[in-house]
Amino acid sequence: MKIVKVEHFFPRQRARLVKITTDNGIVGWGEATLEGKPKSTRAAVEELADYLIGKDPLRIEHHWQYIYRGAFYRGGSVLMSALSGIDQALWDIAGKHYGVPAYKLLGDAVRDRIRVYAHWGIGSMTDEGKAQARERLEALQKQGGYSVFKSGPGGKWRGHEPPAMIDAFVERAYLMREWVGPDVELAFDFHGMMTPALAIEICHELKGMRPMFVEEPVPQENIDALKLVSDRVTFPIATGERLLSRWEFREIFEKQAVAYIQPDASHAGGITELKKIANMAEIYYMHIAPHCAIGPVAFSASLHVDAVVPNFLIQEQTDWVMGSGLLKEDWRVKDGFVELPTKPGLGIEIDEKAAEQNLDIYVEELGGEFYHESDGSLVDW
């Protein structure tokens, strides 16, 4: 079996898909979405296709090593996202070749279903804002029976903010707790927007509601700053959606900087690397809560690692990762869980007509011109 074609499609705003076809007709799908830089991975996939054509798709580890180590410059978000999509597609091919879900080839499942969380919050304390929040909460509880929700402070944060801004977020957070009760878990994503001092101050205000975790309290580049926050907060801190490969997680592990890590199957190196990162985390007693806020192929790839690693905690899930018109059958959430895939490969059937579309336009997201109104200075993403 040989690879004969590598293609790249952009059918949805947050879904750049890689399609790999073999000479015996097996097709594998992966997702190489890179939020904020959607055009960049296309060129990277095209370059890597030159290497892949004519190769045996089942030599997944060999191809991973070549793509990562075979050029002078390694890593970076563009190459790692392209590698991730290719790796997922190769696992999809391998599972279809052997007639089993990909997780069977990774050592088989250590759990029977995968716990997921949904995004929900109270964006405004106006009557209209609270009514909208209540409506979404009731819909999520009815549709999926979720027991974990994640929200965030929103807005534009500077090095420090007045009590009114901090208190407004804290008030919304405690109202969320009041609405869902103590049996439901709540997490908060700071999106790396805070300084260590501000993050610590806000976390101390939240500790009475006992969050499941606070995610990315500070930017990801400085591990010591992250540990500074973690050491001064009484509940778990999480990070990792913007860290790429074992090498970038190494310092997190060695310094015990967080409780949970959040690698992304479409950024950190695909299924192959996500499992290795999780295995490294296990010896430090860290659990994984994989990030996924892009498309359904990335979500599907994540589930296979979630199934096989003992230190899995929970899987991120957004509305559009469940199918988004790209799958013939959407993923379903019941009582806050997704059942293990049963079909070969990634366990999904792609609607190829929908998947092979290409958007003609790109709307800026997770970056671009985003400034503080007060002085015109740039806001962090």
CATH superfamily of 104-346: Enolase-like C-terminal domain (3.20.20.120)
Determine contact, residues 295/11, Cβ cutoff 8 Å: no
CA triple 37-380-189, angle to 5 deg: 90
In the DSSP assignment, the letter for residue 312 is B
Q: Provide the pLDDT for residue 359.
A: 81
**What string of H, E and C letters represents the secondary structure of 33-95?**
CCCCCCCHHHHHHHHHHHHHCCCCCCCHHHHHHHHHHCCCCCCCHHHHHHHHHHHHHHHHHHH
DSSP three-state, residue 152: coil
Closest alpha carbon to 94 in 57, 123, 141: 57
Tokens of 257: 């900087």
For the chain, the domains span 3-101, 104-346
Q: Please list, in sequence order, all residues whose beta carbon lies within 8 angstroms of the beta carbon of residue 374, skipping any fewer than 6 positions away.
A: none
- 3-class SS of residue 238: strand
- Residues in Cβ contact with 200 at an 8 Å cutoff, skipping those fewer than 6 apart: 228, 229, 232, 233
Q: What is the pLDDT along the chain (381 residues), one digit of tens a residue?
A: 999 999 999 998 889 999 999 999 999 999 999 998 888 899 999 999 999 999 999 999 999 999 999 999 999 999 999 999 999 999 999 999 999 999 999 999 999 999 999 999 999 999 999 999 999 999 999 999 999 999 999 989 999 999 999 999 999 999 999 999 999 999 999 999 999 999 999 999 999 999 999 999 999 899 999 999 999 999 999 999 999 999 999 999 999 999 999 999 999 999 999 999 999 999 999 999 999 999 999 999 999 999 999 999 999 999 989 998 999 999 999 999 999 999 999 999 999 999 999 886 767 667 677 888 889 998 887
Cβ burial, residue 113 (10 Å; 0-12/13-18/19+): middle
User: Cβ distance 84 to 266 under 8 Å?
Assistant: yes
Do residues 295 and 274 touch, judged by C-beta distance below 8 A? no
Identify the burial level of 95 via C-beta atoms within 10 angstroms of its C-beta, where 0-12 means exposed, 13-18 middle and 19 or more buried.
Answer: buried
Q: What span, in angstroms and rounded, lies between the C-alpha atoms of 254 and 239?
A: 14
Q: How many CB atoms lie within 10 A of CB 300?
A: 27
Separation between Cα atoms, residue 161 and residue 119, nearest integer Å: 25
CATH fold for the domain made of 3-101: Enolase-like; domain 1 (3.30.390)
pLDDT at residue 189, as a whole number: 98
Calpha distance 68→269 (Å, rounded)? 9
Torsion-angle region of residue 340: left (phi > 0), alpha (psi -120 to 50) or beta? beta
pLDDT of residue 13: 85
Which two tokens mark 251? 């310092």
Strands 337-339, 113-119: pairing is antiparallel
| Helix intervals (H) in the chain | 40-52, 60-69, 77-98, 127-144, 163-180, 196-206, 223-231, 245-254, 270-282, 296-308, 352-355
Q: Give every strand in the sheet of 27-31, ordered side by side.
A: 3-12, 15-22, 27-31
* Residue whose C-alpha is closest to residue 245's, from 287, 271, 274: 274
- Cα–Cα dist 180/194, whole Å: 27
Looking at residue 304, what is its pLDDT? Answer: 98
Distance CA 13, CA 33 (A): 9
Q: Looking at the annotation, which residues are catalytic? A: 191, 291
| Cβ within 8 Å of residue 146, ≥6 positions away | 116, 117, 118, 140, 184, 333, 336
79 touches 44 (CB < 8 A):
yes
